[in-house]
């Protein structure tokens, strides 16, 4: 069964809009786990506009499932994750001012850089995942870099899902199969939602983990957080 990791960045965004500590991201993480999620994901950015670096430290003791920290591997980010030692670090190529992740790594161009980063994380006992587009060459190079997993950037799948399910999923199936052949485990994330998640997991049943934040938290405004986690979890089976 595919694991559901809930990205709580948007909860931090709401908190930061007013200051103070409402909603409390640590309590939210505890509740989300109690509601059945298999993991908690955070993506601290340099401007700390949602999850703050201090939040990551506060979350570490209460995340009893898998803790996944996403981010660009700047010196500050690397110091944080090596200190916190999450279950997994997902490397993303975001520029400092990026609103959200919008592309995977060019694992050919950045091979040496990523190989050094992955090596440092592996030495610290942290599982590594590289965020990539559904491109066989990018997947092949991720395997050569030494990553444990890839995370497929699924925005193109979500954008094209309504028009043609099969066409939308095809490059992701190909990339996932290539990863599996090379010994890489597969994660996925970005714009997966209640409409398209089930089909994705059906077509790529060996996906280890999906990381979902924006749509899940948005759906929780209507269904409540507990019910929403349960709905997403059910689609992962």
Catalytic sites, residue numbers: 43, 70, 190
> Which segments of 7-48 does DSSP mark as H helices, in order?
9-18, 25-34
| Terminal C-alpha separation, the chain | 5
Cα–Cα distance between 178 and 111 in angstroms, integer?
18
- Number of C-beta neighbours around residue 18 at 10 A: 9
Cis peptide before 41 (omega within 30 of 0): no
Distance separating alpha carbons of residues 192 and 207, to the nearest angstrom: 13
Report residue 38 as tokens. 């298999």
Angle between helix 25-34 and helix 9-18 axes, rounded to 10 deg: 150
CA angle 73, 77, 82 (to 5 degrees): 100
């Amino acid at each position: 069964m595919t694991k559901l990791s809930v990205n709580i960045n948007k909860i931090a965004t709401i908190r930061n809009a007013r200051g103070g500590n409402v909603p409390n991201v640590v309590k939210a993480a505890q509740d989300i786990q109690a509601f059945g999620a298999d993991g908690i994901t955070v993506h601290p950015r340099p401007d700390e506009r949602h999850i703050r670096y201090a939040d990551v430290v506060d979350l570490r003791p209460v995340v009893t499932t898998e803790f996944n920290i996403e981010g660009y591997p700047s010196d500050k980010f690397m110091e944080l994750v090596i200190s916190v030692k999450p279950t997994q670090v997902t490397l993303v190529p975001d520029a400092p001012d990026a609103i959200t992740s919008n592309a995977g790594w060019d694992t050919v161009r950045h091979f040496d850089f990523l190989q050094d980063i992955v090596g440092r994380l592996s030495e610290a006992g942290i599982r590594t995942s590289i965020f990539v587009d559904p491109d066989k060459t990018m997947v092949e190079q991720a395997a050569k870099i030494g990553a444990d997993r890839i995370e497929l950037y699924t925005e193109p799948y979500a954008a094209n899902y309504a028009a043609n399910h099969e066409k939308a999923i095809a490059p992701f199936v190909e990339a996932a199969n290539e990863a599996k052949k090379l010994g890489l485990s597969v994660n996925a994330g970005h714009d997966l939602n209640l409409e398209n998640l089930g089909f994705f997991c059906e077509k790529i049943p060996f996906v280890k983990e999906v990381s979902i934040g924006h749509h899940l938290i948005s759906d929780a405004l209507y269904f409540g957080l507990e019910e929403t986690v349960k709905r997403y979890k059910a689609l992962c089976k």
